[in-house]
A = this chain, B = another copy of it.
Amino acid sequence: MILASRATGSEGRPHHQFRLSEGCIALSQTLADGRRQIVDIVGPGALVGIVLGDKNRMTAETLSYCHIERQHGDDVDKTYSAICEAMKRIEAHTVLLGRKTAPERVASAILDLSERFSRPQRAHFESPVFNLYLGRGDLADWLGLSLETVSRCFTRFKRAGLIDFDEPEIVTLLNTPALQAIADGAASA
């Protein structure tokens, strides 16, 4: 499914925003020769359409069943805090893309997505399990890597006992602190 990117009026600020209440959406841009970069992954609670901005050539595609509700633009405080969230995500991602190594990127992504898409845990002592809505190729386009490199990092983390997965999209976190250390650039592998 492709969403049209018309959430705003012709020039001024938008009269309403769209809030994603359920699901996962990827916003991406593509260069002339086909190189693709996913600019943001939108999860439940976030606004679709801010990142789209006003006149940006941006493609949005849903990565799951999605439910979007209209939020009236009058709720300025709510909108403002959602914009701040989006900014924070993109800033953090900028650092990731500019300065982190491949394993650091993948660890960061796993932790980020696990927080935003974690399934309700049955018991508090269970390891958190979550659904990666992105395939390896989408992850690559989000993290500025190649599909193969992403895959290699996953198997490396799996072999190191940091994560586990049987189906490649359903991931269990086995050692969150170690992953965090890698994501922060404090650990070697």
Q: Which A residues contact B (CB, under 8 angstroms)?
A: 12-13, 29, 31-33, 35-37, 39, 50-51, 53-54, 56, 58, 76-77, 80-81, 83-84, 87-88, 90-91, 93-95, 97-100, 141-144, 184-186
Contact = CB atoms under 8 A, between A and B. Distances in A.
Given A98-B97, A99-B144, A144-B97, A29 B80 contact: no
Contacts of A100: 31
Contact of A80 (B12, B37, B93, B143): B12
A37 B98 contact: yes
A94 B51 CA distance: 12
A88 B185 contact: no
Nearest to A90: B90
Contact of A97 (B33, B97, B185): B97
A91 B98 CA distance: 13
Contacts of A99: 31, 35-37, 144
A93 B91 contact: no
Nearest to A13: B80
Given A37-B98, A83-B83, A144-B99, A31 B91 contact: no
Contacts of A90: 87, 90-91, 94
A41 to B, nearest CB: 12
B185 A84 contact: no
A58 B91 contact: yes
B37 A95 contact: yes
Contacts of A93: 94
Contacts of A13: 76-77, 80-81
Contact of A54 (B58, B84, B98, B142): B84
A94 B90 CA distance: 8
